Structure 1
Amino acid sequence: MNERNPGAVVSQILGAVVLAFLVLPILAVVPASFNASSFIKIPPQGYSTRWYAQFLTDSEWIRSVVTSVEVALTATSLSVVLGTLAALGLARATPLVRGAVTGLMLAPLIVPVIMTSIALYYSMRFVGLQGSVFGLALGHSLLCLPFVVLNVGVSLARFDQTLLRAAAGLGAGPLYAFRTVTLPAIKPGLFAGAAFAFITSFDEVVLSMFLVGPAAKTLPIKLFEQIRIEFTPVAAVASTAILVVTVILFAIVQINRVKGQE
């Protein structure tokens, strides 16, 4: 029986401690959402689902959820189309051009979101899209785009380009070759990019604060407003809803990645 490396054991313990430090405060919103009292107490002295009932019967909360889904789906669609086209172009570019354009594509991950938000606020006001669902989706797609470019780019890096030449030799046109050869090969990266784009849009707060309006108030913004007015367990219910959506999509991505490696 092989003895385990003490250094590896210590690193695993430290990793578990750090992970618990990061995750446990987030998971605390789940029991908090079942508080029977009118204020948040952890652990709850009593358990009740009345705050879930209030959340599901409140038209403003439901409207914010619907708006978040609409914005996230629109932003995801835009970023998937544009990000896939960008990744395909980068795969054919020279190393110098690829490095420069990739840096530009990843800028939304590097530049502080507050700076991007201010720039988008004035831009959206200029074109009359500030406060609209589509304007908010456009802003979110800027933050979602890097995730699609990165994930599709990884899939393209593993793609055998001779398959395209073989398809062309058999008479397949560019569009048909993309649909039958390239698209199935990059599908895992495409799916992962879309999932991360949806999560990014659905959870976004800072940029949304600059672009929201009466007709475009997302769930995180509604949650922020609720906390400023009254910090009741219904806010924990909204936080739990965001957490559940994020965890489900992340789990689907991981399952899809494992199946793709089999």
Structure 2
Amino acid sequence: MTRIVLLVYFVLVTGFLLLPLIFLLPISLTNSQFLEFPPKSLSLRWYREFFIDQSWVDATLVSLKIGFGATAISLLLGTLASVALVRSNFRLKGILTAIFIAPLIIPSVVIALALYIVFLRWRLVNNIYALTIAHAMIAMPYVVMIITGSLRRFDMTIERAARILGATPVRAFIHTTLPFLTPALFASGILAFFASFDELIITLFISGGLQTLPVRIWNDLSLKLDPTVPAVAVMLTLVSILGMTVGEIARRRNERRYQSNPISEA
């Protein structure tokens, strides 16, 4: 009975989350100038419009630059933070953990206002590098949570064996722990990238004249509304689902591999 209830609950929640996509897909395939459901005729017109409209392309490129930069920064700093949190014992460990997770709890508008005040004083508004750092701060909690969980499941005897055989701490970590963390890094990198790519509120506060893809969508919704927006939403959703699925599959395969034969992998 418990399994049946959980299955029904899972189906209902999944259906509720996918319901907007069910309506977005046919709307994005309409040939009309306006949003209509159901569409009278199907066409890829608005998908083509996205790729030939330079404003959409430029906004996408800006989002990609910021997203890749924020992902790299969050992966580097988040992994180092995770190693310190898992393998060290110090008095302020709980407080430091809460600080790393705080961007997921604090409302985005509060963080955006605080960053705007600081960046305005330092004249960093309308600076792509400052915006990248802000996005990295938002993305880092995903990296810390996933990498911390993977590190806690890692068998430290493998790294200790490498140390006994003469490897330095850094070399032992690179050759034993890092391969185990690779799928977790990939999964957390995907989440961090999309957390940056989809960020709107903080970007609106500190982007200045920079226009990312979410800002471009927001401006389009404010001025006009054509089926290009649903087409972009469908493409982003499909890419997100694909990336997260690949990351989760890689993470599970890696865990099964190390659990089945950890000695041979070492």
Superposition TM-score, scaled by structure 2 size: 0.91
2:25 maps to which of 22, 30, 33: 30
1:96 deviates by 4.8
The residue number in structure 1 matching 2:44 is 49
CA distance in 2, matches of 1:203, 1:40: 23
What per-residue deviation string (whole Å, max 9, x for no partner) do you get for residues 103-130 of structure 1? Answer: 1110101111100001111222222221
CA distance in 1, matches of 2:153, 2:3: 32
- Once the two structures are superposed, the pairs formed by residues 1-262 of structure 1 within 5 Å of their partners are 5=1, 8-94=3-89, 96-214=91-209, 216-262=210-256
1:236 deviates by 1.1
CA contact (8 A) 2:21 2:234 kept: no
CA contact (8 A) 1:80 1:148 kept: yes
CA contact (8 A) 1:39 1:231 kept: yes
What per-residue deviation string (whole Å, max 9, x for no partner) do you get for residues 201-221 of structure 1? Answer: 11111111112232x311111
SS of residue paired to 1:73: helix
What per-residue deviation string (whole Å, max 9, x for no partner) do you get for residues 60-103 of structure 1? Answer: 00001111111100000000000001001111222753322111
Let me know the Cα RMSD of the aligned residues: 1.6
CA distance in 1, matches of 2:12, 2:82: 38
CA distance in 2, matches of 1:192, 1:33: 29
User: What letter is aligned with 2:221?
Assistant: I
SS of residue paired to 1:231: coil
Moved more, 92-101 or 78-87: 92-101
CA contact (8 A) 2:29 2:39 kept: yes
CA distance in 2, matches of 1:80, 1:155: 14
CA distance in 1, matches of 2:254, 2:159: 21
CA distance in 2, matches of 1:45, 1:39: 11
CA contact (8 A) 1:113 1:206 kept: yes
1:166 deviates by 1.9
Q: For residues 120 and 127 of structure 1, do their structure 2 counterparts lie closer, same or farther at Cα, with a shift above 3 Å needed? A: same
CA distance in 2, matches of 1:98, 1:35: 54
CA distance in 1, matches of 2:164, 2:249: 36
CA contact (8 A) 1:32 1:43 kept: yes
1:188 deviates by 2.1
CA contact (8 A) 1:203 1:242 kept: no
After TM superposition, the runs of 4+ consecutive aligned structure 1 residues lying more than 4 A away are: none
The total of aligned residue pairs comes to: 256
CA distance in 2, matches of 1:211, 1:247: 29
| Unmatched 5+ stretches in structure 2 | 257-266
Q: For residues 143 and 39 of structure 1, do their structure 2 counterparts lie closer, same or farther at Cα, with a shift above 3 Å needed? A: same
What per-residue deviation string (whole Å, max 9, x for no partner) do you get for residues 181-213 of structure 1? Answer: 121122222111111101111111111111223
